[in-house]
Structure 1
Amino acid sequence: MKDENHYLIPWYKDKLDVYHTEVLILGSGIAGLYAAIKLNPKFDVTVLTKMEIMASNTEHAQGGIAVALNNGDSPQFHYDDTINAGAGLVNKKAAMILAEKGPECVTELIQLGTKFDTNCQNQLDFAMEGAHGKHRVLHAQGDATGWEIERTLVEVVQSQNISVKENYYLVDIVKNQKQEACGTLVYNHVDKKLELWLAKAIIMATGGLGQMYKYTTNPSVATGDGIAAAYRAGAELMDMEFMQFHPTALQIPGAPSFLISEAVRGEGAILINACNERFMENIPRKELAPRDVVSRAIWEQMQTGTVFLDFSTIGKTRVEQRFPGIHKTCLEYGVDITSEPVPVGPAAHYLMGGIRTDEYGQTNIPNLYACGECACNGVHGANRLASNSLLDGLVFAATISEHITAKITEISHIDDIQTDHFITDKEQASPADIESLRKDLKELFWNKVGIIRDNAGLIEARAMLNMLKEKFEPRCYIEELELGNMLTLGSIIIMAALEREESRGAHFRRDYPKADECWQKHSVIKRGDKHVCYVSI
């Protein structure tokens, strides 16, 4: 498998059905659907989504959405907490836009029909989460916030007759002779064929890459397809070494790494080790310390025994009312959280890095935009503040829609498609066992490119990844295309992690355990680069 290829698989434009739309959106989470709603009155909008419309990370978000709408809170306070959590690497302009525009966007979300939980005074109920200084996290149905937001946006999109195509897998971005993004190559999984979709503007809202890790809270669709496709097209990727691990995922043999929301600790649940000791007692902010701090503390305790999350301080009635989904899921695996602690451990959760954009979602490729987890404008720095992810998707989808409205161009013609990087025809043998290769990759990343890293482990990971790459060349099957993308992104993450010789936020090097001011800068990698470039914050 060759990383320098512009396209993941061979294709020929004269053999494809070609479709046109003004704005093409890839992804149906909060970022993609909100962008579609904002743009729909003005443009012909088409949403292509990898699986069903509800299948995204948004649906799985439990804790809530952070926004400065509570009495005694303000965008300035929210901004300050975002900066403090980001470990010195936050884009301050982006953080201010997030905090200031957040109330407007969330208010519109409510007007669209999102039903957030209220208190006994029938006012919005705001929760506390890690590294927040105020109660500012809105939630819905206790711990089903993402599902409620996704439900609302799907209903609005369907009521507005916005075109949504399910089971369309993004393969690659195509450019015209001016090196502008002008469309995408997609695999129509229903009809089993490749298609070419041309557009005036393309918005990537394809989510993250948590499936690269053995333990992850992410759904099966999170394989980094959009980030890898953007990279092959020449887009810059930024801060790819910063993968956030959520501290508390379910740790029961045979059970998935089900997320146990940060809001649980916000309500008072405590972490205890195998000796029944509360090991966060002497750490600043205790269980509500930033996620990287809590994850590493749990990881250290796990080396000598099981770590548990104890709900007893919350009370049975409150647990059942506030966390019905978590309660139900844990019961399915034999743990009643109202009467016994549940085993927990860290799991890959959220990529702070991604496709480099400005505050308006623009990439370095004209007409190509990105928002949500696949994008990186530096708003999360090296460690995302809890419950800022949904707000990020919402706010920067809105700024993109404003920018596209002002700058939209013309749809390219099929004859204008760039052809200088097409791959020649060749017979492709069946690759090595995909399931086995994927398992090896996930194990490798968990053990060598995970919560604790070092030079020797990263070098070993790079060598092993190169061996995996040599074993196969992807064909036009989704499982193979996904693995091709994961292998490409794996090399980029390892390169960025190796070159950052410090510990900052979610990137922790045991051989460089301290943060260094010299590294207070963003990493940037572009296709063809042999080394990482850096830009100031």
Structure 2
Amino acid sequence: MKDDDVVIVGSGVAALRLATLLRDDLNVRILTKSRMENANSYLAQGGIAAAVAIEDDPIKHFADTLEAGRYHHHHSGLVREILNEAPELIQEISTDGDIFDKDARGNLVLGLEGAHREKRIVHSGGDATGKNLIEYLIHSLRDHVEVEENIFAYELIVDEKENRCIGVKAKNQDGVIRHFYGNYIVLATGGCGQLYSFTSNAETVTGDGIAMAYLAGAEIADMEFIQFHPTLLYKDGKVRGLISEAVRGEGAILVTEDGTPIMEGVHPLKDLAPRHIVSQAIFDYREKGHEIYLDIDCISNFERRFPSITEICQKNGVNLAEGRIPVISGSHFLMGGIKTDGIGRSSLKGLFAIGEASCTGFHGANRLASNSLLEGLYQGKKLSRWINSHEKLGAFPRHALQAVEEKTIQLPDISLLKETMMKKVGIVRSKELLSEQMEWLDQLDVINFTILDVYSIQDLTMIFMYINAYLITEAALKRTESRGGHFRSDFPNEDEYWRKKVIIQNREGGVVIDEQTETEEVNGAVFY
């Protein structure tokens, strides 16, 4: 087997964009725990945000991003850079792949989503943007990229002498251990949405990369900020799929069973308010015993505009002719993750993170709709440029395939974790509920696992989910305010003290509350 220069764990938009842009003399290996298409990026319906319209401007996109993120973004320069480059990123793919929807004149069709003040959402196949983008990137991979599916990465290999990440351990479906080494180990494993009983996330999104990085000693940041998507299809007591925010962008409104609009008087943007505002409103109504629906009567061409959503609804027995789709809020996106700089470098030398597994601070406390695929495209391109500018390094150690006798982990069933996270660390939090969850997780001692080789893939997944739950709960308990995706009923307001504070978690260093020092005035507000 040839030596790898770059090992990428994950197969979402950030991972694939990186792989397609790395130079041909680099040996690149992609490891993914399932099939390439089984990722959040593939499920993305809405689109990619970019200021490409004549009347739009990256400055407007910047202002909307800050407003949605509640001014918690770590570095204004990085936010500006990503948004300024967004039109070019769209143009590159549009020219090469021609996958985006266009009108009869050949102009990009632009949609509107929550917290955007301009139409700037570029989409593909109506509501199949993620699917079409991922398929385009897969077809763009070249011969120097080797893809291994159905292999589960579970532990980073660290050279203790150099304090550098040099590889990753992984198990195949038979439980056999393999070692992969490279100059650049890149985690692009996504977020951790499956920690919650209601979620839009793919079944594979269990926080693996974040847990691996934490166990290896890398810094983790902003884990308290979880975005709950307002509109998940809810039928027969279960989440059946995602109803894109673009539906509300076309005019649909949220109503109770008797037709009462729930967003009137809540926010100036009403149903297109930032996601945390809408999710909290839905939560409040459901707590009072109401069912919530998305009224789509005003969208005359719904089936043509949203073919994927139409298929999901029909498959689950929702009659669109009635003009209503039953919805509930659930976990959707993690703003936190492995702390990195703008290139993707983590605090552990040799380890990089991109996509939802990373945290650059770009999304602040709450991601602006359709900024995630954009970030993935940007990060993949940015890191590829950096790696391409460096020389190839030497060979790596060799390890034979290793089989071990597995033992079973003693942790409560994962369904209990999902239930308690939704109830105690979900849309609305409090000191009482968070403390109860923290005490339970402390008793389980989930962050002190050391010898991971002996556990099955199923048990390793469970361990990683519990570690992520611990990190989220600990950070949420520390932040005594409400901001973006973090809402505390006992501290319901934003606190100026906390706006410039970043909660950083490190296995060896504990919890550090870091103060951002960069300041900038935006629309009359001081932005840290």
TM-score when normalising by structure 2: 0.92
Residue 451 in structure 1 maps to residue 438 in structure 2:
no
| Equivalent pair of 1:114/1:149 in contact (CA under 8 Å) | no
Offset, 1:484: 0.6
Distance 2:281 2:416 in 1: 27
Offset, 1:104: 1.7
Cα separation, partners in 2 of 1:19 and 1:522, compared to 1, 3 Å: farther
Residue 288 in structure 1 maps to residue 300 in structure 2:
no
Per-residue CA distance 1:134-156 (angstroms, 9 max, x = gap): 11101111111100001101111
Cα separation, partners in 2 of 1:205 and 1:428, compared to 1, 3 Å: closer
Cross-structure match for 2:462: 483
TM-score when normalising by structure 1: 0.90
**Equivalent AA in structure 2 for residue 183 of structure 1:** G
Cross-structure match for 1:398: 381
Cross-structure match for 2:156: 173
Cross-structure match for 1:309: 294
Cross-structure match for 2:139: 155
| Equivalent pair of 2:112/2:250 in contact (CA under 8 Å) | yes
Distance 1:306 1:483 in 2: 32
Cα separation, partners in 2 of 1:334 and 1:246, compared to 1, 3 Å: same
Distance 1:255 1:501 in 2: 32
Per-residue CA distance 1:325-349 (angstroms, 9 max, x = gap): 1112111222122433111110100
Equivalent residue for 2:91, pick from 96, 107, 113 = 107
Per-residue CA distance 1:362-381 (angstroms, 9 max, x = gap): 11112211110000000000
Cross-structure match for 2:409: 431
Cross-structure match for 2:521: none
- 3-state SS, counterpart of residue 472 of structure 2: helix
Cα separation, partners in 2 of 1:472 and 1:95, compared to 1, 3 Å: closer
Cα separation, partners in 2 of 1:72 and 1:87, compared to 1, 3 Å: same
Please list, as runs of the form range in 1=range in 2, the aligned pairs for 1:111-190 lying within 5 A after superposition. Answer: 111-157=95-141, 159-160=142-143, 162-176=145-159, 177-189=161-173
Cross-structure match for 1:269: 252
Residue 500 in structure 1 maps to residue 479 in structure 2:
yes
Distance 1:221 1:408 in 2: 34
Distance 2:396 2:373 in 1: 36
Please list, as runs of the form range in 1=range in 2, the aligned pairs for 1:64-103 lying within 5 A after superposition. Answer: 64-90=47-73, 91-103=75-87
Cα separation, partners in 2 of 1:310 and 1:29, compared to 1, 3 Å: same
Cα separation, partners in 2 of 1:34 and 1:342, compared to 1, 3 Å: same
Please, which moves more after superposition, 230-239 or 470-479? 470-479
Distance 2:210 2:98 in 1: 29
Please list, as runs of the form range in 1=range in 2, the aligned pairs for 1:366-445 lying within 5 A after superposition. Answer: 366-407=349-390, 410-411=393-394, 413-414=396-397, 429-432=407-410, 437-445=413-421
- 3-state SS, counterpart of residue 442 of structure 2: helix
Distance 2:231 2:458 in 1: 29
**Equivalent AA in structure 1 for residue 471 of structure 2:** I
Distance 2:2 2:203 in 1: 28
Offset, 1:472: 12
Cα separation, partners in 2 of 1:366 and 1:333, compared to 1, 3 Å: same
Structure 1: 5+ residue runs without aligned partners? Answer: 1-17, 418-425
| Equivalent pair of 1:63/1:262 in contact (CA under 8 Å) | yes
Distance 2:25 2:246 in 1: 39
- 3-state SS, counterpart of residue 284 of structure 1: coil
Equivalent residue for 1:299, pick from 279, 283, 292 = 283
**Equivalent AA in structure 2 for residue 326 of structure 1:** I
- 3-state SS, counterpart of residue 204 of structure 2: coil
Cα separation, partners in 2 of 1:430 and 1:206, compared to 1, 3 Å: closer
| Equivalent pair of 1:142/1:324 in contact (CA under 8 Å) | yes
Equivalent residue for 1:527, pick from 500, 503, 507 = 507
- 3-state SS, counterpart of residue 251 of structure 1: strand
| Equivalent pair of 1:496/1:532 in contact (CA under 8 Å) | no
Offset, 1:476: 2.9
Per-residue CA distance 1:427-459 (angstroms, 9 max, x = gap): 875334x7x610011001000000000000001
- 3-state SS, counterpart of residue 275 of structure 1: coil
Residue 227 in structure 1 maps to residue 227 in structure 2:
no
Percentage of matched positions with identical amino acids: 38
Offset, 1:92: 1.1
Offset, 1:274: 2.6
Paired residue total: 506
Offset, 1:532: 3.6
- 3-state SS, counterpart of residue 68 of structure 1: coil
Distance 1:408 1:382 in 2: 37
Distance 2:269 2:446 in 1: 47
**Equivalent AA in structure 2 for residue 369 of structure 1:** F
Residue 343 in structure 1 maps to residue 326 in structure 2:
yes
Distance 2:512 2:169 in 1: 28
Please, which moves more after superposition, 269-278 or 205-214? 269-278
Cα separation, partners in 2 of 1:471 and 1:240, compared to 1, 3 Å: closer
